[in-house]
Copies of this chain bind each other. A is one copy, B any other.
Amino acid sequence: MESIGIVAPHRMHFPEPLALRSGASLAGYDLMVETYGTLNAARSNAVLVCHALNASHHVAGVYADEPKNVGWWDNMVGPGKPLDTNRFFVIGVNNLGSCFGSTGPMSLDPATGKPYGARFPVVTVEDWVNAQARVADAFGIERFAAVMGGSLGGMQALAWSLMYPDRVGHCIVIASTPKLSAQNIAFNEVARSAILSDPDFHGGDYYAHGVKPRRGLRVARMIGHITYLSDDDMATKFGRALRRPSGGADDYHFSFDVEFEVESYLRYQGDKFADYFDANTYLLITRALDYFDPAKAFDGDLTAAVAHTRAQYLVASFTTDWRFAPTRSRELVKALLDHKRRVTYAEIDAPHGHDAFLLDDARYHNVLRAYYERIAEEVRA
């Protein structure tokens, strides 16, 4: 299967203030956007792909000057791929508060001329959806053929179908949940604590000090990584394999340096993340996860919360995902079925835990491919 090839990001500027759920407001903002495929004359073939924690607008393809920087969902989006760019016009948007070019804590606050830092307002899934709606407006897209996302991206897709019921044909929610559990929040809180307590955090204004809270980011990413993989997958990938057996009778080194392969892997992931990710963004995005809970305004009644949806749904989960387990997807499916919504639910037997939604698994991709065939027929009709 060919990749979509060379792509280029665009910066879109939105001069109007954006009222946020918190009550704060963001004066004009920029969003980084990438598009793939061609918008048809009826503007009926557009698909919005929403990203999760550390991803961006760069969904597919590579950049001319960065041939190794492959989009994060390149196996899903492209010519002949499940989301076929020969048929659909696909939009990737980097969310507000992220650190890949959209307005966020590293951006200059027009009020002070300095980076927002800790003064960047807390943003929510709903705020992202409102910001994305303006992207749709700018493209003249009244209604998306589909809004799709995995994990936190799936929350955005779900929120789209709740907030803009007339603007979403199909809502595709993968490896996601209608709300975080106490345990999910707990993991986020530990990650945030590691960042907030890093002496290099400087209350969020580390840019001015020429440092970044690398130690905290590193620990935060290591914690996250454990929750993305399944126990079985870790056992298969690493088991108890040693990094450099000592050669002694007992072949341990009896130290706190890297001993097991899994330690080496986690440290590598942590270091890499600390290089490229922004700590304030990590705080913001984990908080957006915590806060997402569309049933909250309905006393926790998810069925009531989805009463006014009009989309059709594809909900998919993975058997070994313990971060957002299949039971969480089934809650959503049940609430939708309470209203006799058209829902396709796929529970995919895959060993790779939460990360499965990013991987090229034939059973998973076939479900998506078949579902997009159906959408393509509707778009043609």
Inter-chain contact B23/A122, CB cutoff 8 Å:
no
Which residues of the other chain, B, contact A24 by a CB distance below 8 angstroms?
A: 254
Q: How far is the CB of A289 from chain B (nearest CB, A)?
A: 12
Inter-chain contact A218/B234, CB cutoff 8 Å:
no
Stretch at the interface among A7-15, A86-94, A192-200, A367-375: A192-200
Of chain B, the residue at the smallest CB distance from A264 is: B189
* Residue with the greatest number of chain B CB neighbours at <10 A, chosen from A122, A240, A252, A261: A240
- Answer whether residue A238 sits at the interface, using C-beta atoms and an 8 A cutoff: yes
Q: How far is the CB of A354 from chain B (nearest CB, A)?
A: 13
With A182-B234, A197-B215: A190-B222 Cβ-Cβ less than 8 Å: yes
- Answer whether residue A180 sits at the interface, using C-beta atoms and an 8 A cutoff: yes
- Answer whether residue A379 sits at the interface, using C-beta atoms and an 8 A cutoff: no
| Cα separation A204 to B262 with both chains bound (whole Å) | 23
Interface string of A252-281 (1 = CB under 8 A from B): 101110011111001100100000000000
Of chain B, the residue at the smallest CB distance from A179 is: B240
With A23-B248, A218-B193: A186-B266 Cβ-Cβ less than 8 Å: yes
Of chain B, the residue at the smallest CB distance from A291 is: B252
- Answer whether residue A231 sits at the interface, using C-beta atoms and an 8 A cutoff: yes
- Answer whether residue A237 sits at the interface, using C-beta atoms and an 8 A cutoff: yes
- Answer whether residue A181 sits at the interface, using C-beta atoms and an 8 A cutoff: yes
- Answer whether residue A22 sits at the interface, using C-beta atoms and an 8 A cutoff: yes
Interface residues of A in 282-304 (CB under 8 A from B): 283, 287, 290-291, 293, 296
| Cα separation A182 to B265 with both chains bound (whole Å) | 11
Which residues of the other chain, B, contact A259 by a CB distance below 8 angstroms?
A: 290
Which residues of the other chain, B, contact A226 by a CB distance below 8 angstroms?
A: 183, 186-187, 190
Of chain B, the residue at the smallest CB distance from A225 is: B186
- Answer whether residue A356 sits at the interface, using C-beta atoms and an 8 A cutoff: no
Which residues of the other chain, B, contact A28 by a CB distance below 8 angstroms?
A: none
Of chain B, the residue at the smallest CB distance from A257 is: B196
Inter-chain contact B254/A193, CB cutoff 8 Å:
no
| Cα separation A183 to B181 with both chains bound (whole Å) | 20
* Residue with the greatest number of chain B CB neighbours at <10 A, chosen from A237, A254, A266: A254
Which residues of the other chain, B, contact A262 by a CB distance below 8 angstroms?
A: 182, 185-186, 189
Given contacts A22-B252, A186-B225, 16 further A-B contacts (CB under 8 A): A22-B250, A121-B254, A181-B240, A182-B239, A185-B240, A185-B260, A189-B266, A190-B219, A190-B226, A192-B256, A193-B267, A193-B270, A219-B219, A223-B223, A252-B291, A256-B287
